[in-house]
């Protein structure tokens, strides 16, 4: 697990000094975190909130490819999702169905088949 603080800072085009000012964390502490030090959960949440990023992304638990689906799920919690959002979720889920051929993946996607949780095989709907 690697903190993405430097990546975030560089993506935003801000300096360590700017990040320290925005977050209330000292410049030395920002440097420490960027070199592998690890902040408290409270600090992770505060930094994530300050820059409007997912805390799980910030600490490296999820990757960029997963973010669109996660953002849609977060929106759904607040009842802001659209048809496009649900398509994003289903497309991401289909991509994660490792081991299925294209035909099976297509049938799962459109509800003609479903994954059997017990056997991890496919069955007709």
pLDDT in tens, 36-62: 888 888 888 899 899 988 888 788 777
- Could you tell me the residue ranges of all domains in the chain? 5-62, 65-124
> pTM for this one?
0.52
Contacts of 13 (CB under 8 A, 6+ apart): none
Question: In the CATH scheme, what is the homologous superfamily, with its name and number, of domain 5-62?
Answer: lambda repressor-like DNA-binding domains (1.10.260.40)
Give yes or no for a contact between 73 and 62, defined as CB atoms under 8 angstroms apart: no
Range of lowest pLDDT (25-29, 48-52, 65-69, 75-79)? 75-79
Average pLDDT rounded to a whole number, residues 103-122:
56
Indicate left, alpha or beta for 111 from its phi (over 0: left) and psi (-120 to 50: alpha): left
- Higher pLDDT: 79 or 48? It is 48
- Residues 33 and 107: their CA atoms lie apart, in Å, by 46
Average pLDDT rounded to a whole number, residues 84-100:
61
């Amino acid at each position: 697990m690697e903190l993405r603080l430097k990546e975030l800072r560089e993506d935003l085009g801000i300096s360590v000094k700017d990040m320290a000012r925005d977050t209330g964390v000292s410049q030395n502490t920002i440097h420490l975190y960027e070199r592998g030090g690890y902040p408290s959960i409270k600090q992770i949440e505060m930094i994530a909130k300050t820059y409007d990023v997912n805390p799980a992304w910030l600490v490296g638990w999820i990757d960029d490819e997963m973010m669109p689906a996660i953002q849609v799920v977060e929106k759904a919690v607040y009842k802001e999702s659209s048809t496009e959002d649900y398509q994003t979720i289903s497309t991401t889920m289909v991509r994660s169905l490792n081991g299925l051929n294209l035909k099976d993946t297509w049938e799962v996607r459109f509800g003609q088949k479903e994954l059997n949780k017990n056997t991890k095989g496919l069955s007709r709907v």
